Copies of this chain bind each other. A is one copy, B any other.
Amino acid sequence: MEDTGKRFNPEKLAAFCIDVQEKAGVPREYAEMVTDNLIMANLRGVDTHGVTRLPIYVERVQAGLINGKAAGTIVMENATTAAYDGQNGLGQVVGTKAMQLCLDKAEREGVAIVTANNSNHFGTASYYAMKALDRDMIGMCVTNSPSLMAPWGGKKVFLGTNPIAFAVPAGEEKPFVLDLATSVVARGAVILASKKGDPIPPTWAMNKEGEPTTDAKEALSGALLPLGGHKGFGLAMVIEVLSAVLAAGPFGPHVGELYNNPNTPQACSHFFMAFRIDRFRPVADFKAEMDQMIREVRTEPLAKGFSKIMVAGEPEANTEADRKANGVPLSDAVVSDLTKLGDSVGVSFADYVKS
């Protein structure tokens, strides 16, 4: 995102997001869950998954396409596992509840898995995986998402850009937090190039005819390419299995869009896993080796064109430190969207964020 220099206090932004949702009929507790996820994304520099999503969530709640009052319910449960039905609740509410359940089970049993179906866009996957960190556990989360990516060998979108996230505690170093889509790039990068009229690398996407394209507009009516060809498609399909097929949700082409879908719920599915580090070795030893590995990788000799080696989660942690201190930058377009959204439910964005 282009940083225009305008920074917003995250607590004030959060208060706005919570109140807007409450006005739209979302119980305060659930509005807080959604907001915590969005603000965390903005703080960590993942602005595509931050408050920019609030208007579409609220719109879908108001249209009855998301049940803002639903928290989901357990449909099958054992000591180490649960299948959670999201009851078409807000994705962050479903995700937060399901991951909480997973962490409590893992704390008691050593390892746990919880699936969730009938859910919606739930923000960044790493948000849920990171809930494991304070408990000295490793967290994992994957989700399916609407079709954007062609199968390897195919030309029509089938699976989503299905992300995978892992969070691993370190000692003195920042936690290792991986969160990646299984496409080469996010669709947002293609949209941006299209708006600017810039060409895109031929490895990003294909056109409608199934040929690699450098024309961003053509790419948008074609399909994103999976990370590393057949490998990325294989990973995306594993993620579809773990989320949709295991959770008894619809897969790939049968998942609803978040935008431009005024008729049907999304029916996303998620998979959450956590396990205790101390079931395998003392936590202090584990963290010391994490620190050692991170430090050794960081001091490796640099390749041409690089000034630094960073490990997953490090750029985001740096951004978080900066934005916690100096505020979250929002583009004029996002500010305008939030202002309109606030006005529509009688809440003034400008009043909330003024200093």
Kindly state the separation between the CA atoms of A296 and B245 in the bound complex, as whole angstroms.
Answer: 14
On whether A111 and B81 interact (CB within 8 A), knowing A281-B76, A289-B245, the answer reads yes
Are A280 and B247 interface neighbours, CB within 8 A?
A: yes
Kindly state the separation between the CA atoms of A158 and B279 in the bound complex, as whole angstroms.
Answer: 28
On whether A279 and B76 interact (CB within 8 A), knowing A111-B113, A156-B301, A228-B228, the answer reads yes
Which residues of A290-337 are within 8 A (CB) of B?
290, 292-293, 296-297, 300-304, 306, 308-312
Q: Is A93 an interface residue (CB 8 A)?
A: no
Q: Is A173 an interface residue (CB 8 A)?
A: no
Q: Is A123 an interface residue (CB 8 A)?
A: no
Q: Is A215 an interface residue (CB 8 A)?
A: no
How many A residues touch B, CB cutoff 8 Å?
76
Q: Is A184 an interface residue (CB 8 A)?
A: yes
Q: Is A178 an interface residue (CB 8 A)?
A: yes
Q: Which of A19-27, A44-52, A204-212 contacts B (4 or more CB under 8 A)?
A: A204-212
Are A293 and B240 interface neighbours, CB within 8 A?
A: yes
Nearest neighbor of A303 in chain B, beta-carbon distance: B210
Oligomeric state, in number of copies? Answer: 2
On whether A306 and B111 interact (CB within 8 A), knowing A246-B286, A293-B251, the answer reads no
Which residues of A223-258 are within 8 A (CB) of B?
227-228, 230-232, 234-235, 237-238, 240-242, 244-248, 251-253
Provide a sorted-by-A list of 23 A–B residue pairs whose CB atoms are within 8 angstroms.
A80-B110, A81-B275, A81-B279, A83-B280, A83-B281, A111-B111, A111-B113, A153-B309, A154-B306, A155-B300, A155-B302, A155-B303, A158-B297, A227-B227, A227-B232, A234-B311, A234-B312, A246-B286, A247-B281, A251-B289, A251-B293, A252-B297, A253-B296
**Given contacts A78-B110, A211-B303, could you give 10 more A-B pairs where the C-beta distance is less than 8 Å?**
A80-B110, A138-B242, A154-B301, A154-B309, A155-B303, A168-B245, A176-B238, A244-B289, A246-B277, A252-B293
**Nearest 8 CB-CB pairings of A with B:** A210-B303, A154-B300, A153-B306, A227-B228, A81-B279, A153-B309, A155-B303, A80-B110
